[in-house]
Amino acid sequence: MEIRIASQLSTLGHPQRLAIFRMLMRRMPDRVPAGEIADALYIKPSTLSAYLSALLDAGLLSQTRVGTSLRYTVNVPNVQGMLDFLLLECCRGRPDMCSPLAAGFGQGMTDMSLEKFNVLFICTGNSARSIFAETILRDMAGDRFEVFSAGTKPYSELNPMAVDVLRQKGHDVSSLRAKNVQEFMGGDAPKFDFVFTVCDQAANEDCPAWAGQPISAHWGMVDPVKATGSDAERSLAFQAAYGALRNRISAFTALPMTTLDRISLQKAVDDIGQMTEEDTSA
C-alpha cells in the first residue's frame, strides 16, 4: 500500500502530469479525449502519451475507448484511497493538519447557508449558457438560491439571441449583464455553496480554488453561439441549450439539500451534469 501511494505522489510531483490530473478533476465525471487534453494544456501528443501512461500506471486515471478515440477520467476509488491514507495514516486524522480537506466530509448542507444557497455558473463568455442558467434558477427558485454567473474571458457581452430566448420564455432581462469571474474572487464576493461550469473550455482552465470549499460540478454542453446556418437554425440551438439547462436546474432544485451529506450531494450534481440529450430535451 505504502509503495503504491509513494508512486502516486511521485507521479503527481511532475508539473505537467499534475496539470493533467487537475484538469480531469475539474471535468469530472467527463471522459475527455486525449486530443482535447493536449490542446487545453498545450502539450505535444507524443509527450502527452507518456504522461498519460504514467498516470494510468500509478492508478490515478482510467482509460476508455469510444470508437477510435481514447478517453480519460480520474480513477476515483484509487484517488480516494490515496487521500484516505494521507489523512488517516500520515495525518492521523488530526483536524489541525487535515483541514480544510477533511472539513465537511459526511456533513449535510444545513450549516453552509442559513437562508439561501449561493450558486455561481461559469462559462467562457458569460454571453449565453451561464446567463441562461442564472436566469432560470433565479426565476425557478429565487426564494432558496442567490444566483450569479460569470465568464472567464476578460471582456464579453450578452448574445442578442440568448436575450431574445429569455424574453420569449417570459424572463425579465433588464438587470442582466456579462461579468468576469474576477468580480467574484475578491474579499467582498459572496461565499458560494455551489459552483458549476457549463462549458468545457471554462472547466479546462486552471482557476484558483474557491474559498469555503463549495460543491462544484461540470455541466458542459454545446455552445449555441457557435451554431451556424440560418437565423432559424441558430435560434433552435439557443432554444435547445435553454431547454437542457432548464431540465438540469429543475433536477437540481428538487434535491433535498439539507438531508444529503456532502458526498451524496456531490454525486447528485455530477449525475445531473451527465444527463443525456434525451434526458434534457425541452
68-114 pLDDT, tens digit each: 889 999 999 999 899 888 877 776 666 555 655 544 444 445 454 45
Structure-model confidence comparison of residues 249 and 84, the more confident one: 249
Q: What is the pLDDT of residue 277?
A: 53
In a domain, 111, yes or no: no
Q: Are residues 172 and 254 in the same domain?
A: yes
Q: Is the pLDDT of residue 226 over 60?
A: yes
User: Residue 251 belongs to a domain with what CATH number?
Assistant: 3.40.50.2300
Confidence of residue 211 (pLDDT cuts 50, 70, 90): confident
Q: What is the pLDDT of residue 124?
A: 92
Q: Are residues 134 and 223 in the same domain?
A: yes
Q: Are residues 59 and 141 in the same domain?
A: no
In a domain, 107, yes or no: no
Contacts of 247 (CB under 8 A, 6+ apart): 275, 279, 280, 281, 282
| Distance of alpha carbon 227 from the chain centroid | 23
Q: Are residues 261 and 163 in the same domain?
A: yes
Half-sphere exposure of 226 (CA within 13 A, CB side): 7
Cβ count near 48 (within 10 Å): 20
Average pLDDT rounded to a whole number, residues 220-244: 93
Least confident piece of the model among 12-21, 39-48, 194-203: 194-203
Q: Are residues 236 and 190 in the same domain?
A: yes
Structure-model confidence comparison of residues 200 and 249, the more confident one: 249
**Looking at 68, 98, 128, which one is the last position of a domain?**
98
Structure-model confidence comparison of residues 160 and 108, the more confident one: 160
Question: Which residue range is the domain that position 68 belongs to?
Answer: 2-98
Q: What is the pLDDT of residue 98?
A: 61
What is the reported pTM?
0.80
Parallel, antiparallel, or unpaired for β 69-74 and 32-33?
A: antiparallel
Per-residue model confidence as pLDDT tens digits over 39-66: 999 999 999 999 999 999 999 999 999 8
Q: What is the pLDDT of residue 166?
A: 97
Confidence of residue 278 (pLDDT cuts 50, 70, 90): low
**Looking at 98, 128, 144, which one is the last position of a domain?**
98
CA distance 85 to 254: 35
Type and span of the H or E element at 78: helix 76-84
Confidence of residue 203 (pLDDT cuts 50, 70, 90): confident
Average pLDDT rounded to a whole number, residues 236-241: 95
Confidence of residue 186 (pLDDT cuts 50, 70, 90): confident
Using DSSP's 3-state secondary structure scheme, residue 199 falls into coil
Structure-model confidence comparison of residues 106 and 26, the more confident one: 26
Confidence of residue 170 (pLDDT cuts 50, 70, 90): very high
Q: Are residues 187 and 260 in the same domain?
A: yes
Structure-model confidence comparison of residues 210 and 170, the more confident one: 170
Q: What is the pLDDT of residue 248?
A: 96
CB 70 within 8 A of CB 111: no
Q: What is the pLDDT of residue 84?
A: 84
The backbone torsions φ and ψ at residue 171, rounded to the nearest 5 degrees and listed phi first, read -85, 145
What mean pLDDT, rounded, does the chain reach?
88
In the chain, the number of structural domains is 2
Structure-model confidence comparison of residues 169 and 203, the more confident one: 169
